[in-house]
Structure 1
Amino acid sequence: MQNNWYFSMILVVPAIIFSGCSSMPQNPSLIEAHSNYNNALTNPQVTDMAALELKEASKFLDKADNALNKRESDATVNHLAYMANQQVAIAQETAKAKAAEAVVANANTARDRVLLEARTAEAEEAKRQLEELKAKKTDRGLVITLQDVLFRTNMAQLEVNGLRTVHKLADFLKQYPERTVLIEGHTDSTGSDSYNQGLSERRAHAVRMALLDSGISSNRIAAKGYGESFPVASNDTAENRQLNRRVEIILSNENGVVSPR
């Protein structure tokens, strides 16, 4: 009976010893590192925006677990746990920074969209105004033509409709202060050269004065008369001569430059 008890104890004691040796040792630093890592995994912002940093943290945790299982020194395990914690912290800060950048980027996108919409609306309004002024695109730029009927016969005084057109042009120029205008007066071939030259100059200056009276700065307006030098039609019919009697207003480009004749 005693022998049976003795052999039983021989079998049990090594089993108890072996069981104690095989249990997982504990390390507070590593437990904390695992907890911090698991918390980070529950944050979608971190997992989405700092996946690489989290992967590095996972590698350090694996190394720390292996070191603990191999009964390496506490200093080694603690160091690896510390590195895992650092990578988790880096992942969290990286995610915060990227989230902030995304907010700024979204704000910039919204701002750019608003600016684009504003510029589009501005361009559409400018197009509408130029169409209303009947501006035509030429090699020299946009040209607004005031025909002879907008002036009193053989005079430089603008009629009501002519003044209305000039006022619309002034409104346009106020909205686009970078633009300038060149006003050119022209006549048909009826009458002497000196008379035609003088009439073309007076009509060009009449338009200039109307723009000045509408609040446009003098340094944005140039005026010149060409007499009968640049007809747009032959002078052999009354209809063609009327086409030649005109004032052309050339709008500059966005840099304030008007192409020379």
Structure 2
Amino acid sequence: MKNNNGIRYCILLAALITMAGCAAGPEENAMLEQARAAYNEARNDPLVMENAPLELAKAEDNLLKAQELWEEKKETARVEHHAYLSRQQSAIARETAQLQKAQQTITEGDAERNRVLLEIRAKEAEAARRQAQLSQAELKEARARAEEQARMAQIRELEESRRQAEEQAKRAEEAGQKVAGLEAELAELKARPTERGMVITLGDVLFDLDKADLNPGANLVMDRLAAFLKDHEERRILVEGFTDSTGAEDYNMQLSERRARSVRQALMDRGIAGDRIEVRGYGEQYPMATNETVAGRQQNRRVEILFSDEEGKLPGRR
């Protein structure tokens, strides 16, 4: 144990000599100087070296730690904390040595017994008091570390909340821009809002009389509609065919469905998947105008295209 203490002391002495020789080193710290003086005083006491080597080693460890922190320019509070611990351990070492010496003197004579016992109790009480002070200092440092960790965790939580809020705002802005762009494109297709959603109405001028095939005049409309559906792959459409009341009801039902299917086929020919296009024929049902006039019947002969919502859902008719 003595050899180990001698080696540790040489290391500490070398570190102190090196620091003293550095002209550019940091200014001395008062508490560090006090701790160094207390350690040297205890180290030079043969009684301490013989009877309290463990306590002296603890003082040395804290002094080396304080010196290291000071040279690395760490927080003053940490330097002084370890300097304080070193000074207290040096005092404990001296008191422990004296206690050991006192205990030895018990055997030297009955006359001194009571006085020595009182001294022993006093030294024990003082050592316990200093140990309690050390525990309080360590507890204070642990509490400070816990508070710092809690503060950093709170900062990280606030940063995460801010980041999430910014992302939500960005998504909302992008969604708003997307909706605005969608409305503009639908306006170009001459879609109109209804209680079922946005609807495009194709009049009977796109079909020859009593025929289901689209005439060439429908190509431009089909091209624009196909381009829209390619840009908005989340959308589906419902193509509904209607006729006026002229002719047999069964025939009108078939004609309305064939016209709706013609629109579907035209879009599929332009690269739109068939499962995105539903088709229904209603014949004479759901007229837009009276069938008693030529103009009214012309309005009723139509194909309507209803757009789904963003989830691809299409509303039915009530």
TM-score of Structure 1 vs Structure 2, range by shorter chain: 0.5 to 0.7
CA–CA distance in 1 between the matches of 2:314 and 2:277? 11
Please state if 1:146 is matched with 2:202: yes
| d(CA) in 1 for partners of 2:232, 2:241 | 24
Counterpart residue type for residue 77 of structure 2: N
Higher relative contact order, structure no. (Cα contacts within 8 Å, ≥ 6 residues apart): 1
So what's the TM-score if we normalise by structure 2? 0.55
Map of 2:261 onto structure 1: 205
- Sequence identity of aligned pairs in percent? 37
Tell me whether 1:172 sits opposite 2:228 in the alignment: yes
- Between the aligned partners of 1:160 and 1:87, the Cα distance in structure 2 is 83
Q: Distance in 2 between matches of 1:92 and 1:194?
A: 82
How many Å separate the matches in 2 of 1:80 and 1:218?
78
Listed as ranges, the gaps of 5+ residues in structure 2 are 1-33, 36-58, 67-74, 81-125
* 1:231 corresponds to: 287
Cα distance in 2, alignment partners of residues 229 and 106 from structure 1: 55
2:288 equivalent to 1:247:
no
* Residue 36 in structure 1 maps to residue 36 in structure 2: no
Question: 1:130 is matched with which residue: 161, 169, 186?
Answer: 186
The CA deviation at 1:37 is 7.8
1:162 aligns with 2:218: yes
SS of 1:173 mapped into structure 2: helix
Return the structure number with greater helix share.
Answer: 2
**3-state SS of the aligned residue for 1:73?**
helix
CA contact (8 A) 1:151 1:158 kept: yes
SS of the residue 1:230 aligns to = coil
1:113: how far off? 2.2
Partner-residue secondary structure (3-state), 1:259: coil
Give the one of 159, 162, 175 matched to 1:106: 162
C-alpha distance in structure 2 between counterparts of 1:38 and 1:169, whole Å? 76
Residue in structure 1 matched with residue 46 of structure 2 by the alignment: none
Q: CA deviation at 1:207?
A: 0.5
Give the equivalent residue in structure 2 for 1:56.
none
Matched, 1:191 2:276: no
Letter of the structure 2 residue corresponding to residue 36 of structure 1: A
Give a deviation string over 1:30-69, Cα, whole Å, max 9, x none.
xx8x942899xxxxxxxxxxxxxxxxxxxxxxxxxxxxxx
| CA deviation vs aligned residue, 1:154-185 (integer Å, no higher than 9, x gap) | 33333455333333333333344343222111
Distance in 2, matches of 1:212 and 1:256, equals 18
Opposite residue 253 of structure 1, the aligned amino acid is D
Give 2:119's aligned residue.
Answer: none
- Judged with a 3 Å threshold, the aligned counterparts in structure 2 of structure 1 residues 137 and 238 are, in CA distance, closer, same or farther, namely same
Matched, 1:117 2:173: yes
Aligned residues: 202
Which 10-residue stretch deviates more, 203-212 or 100-109?
100-109
State the partner residue of 2:152: 96
Q: Is residue 221 of structure 1 aligned with residue 255 of structure 2?
A: no
Q: Any idea what SS the aligned residue of 1:260 has? A: coil
Greater radius of gyration (CA): 2
CA contact (8 A) 1:233 1:244 kept: yes
Aligned to 2:313: 257
1:73-103 Cα shifts (integer Å, max 9, x gaps):
1111111111111122122222332333333
TM-score using structure 1 length: 0.66
- Between the aligned partners of 2:312 and 2:201, the Cα distance in structure 1 is 19
SS at match of 1:155: coil
Separation in structure 2 between the aligned mates of residue 226 and residue 194 of structure 1, nearest angstrom: 10
- Read off the aligned partner of 2:288 and give its amino acid letter: V
Deviation for aligned residue 1:241: 1.2
Unaligned runs of 5+ in 1: 1-25, 40-70
Q: Give the AA of the match of 1:132.
A: E
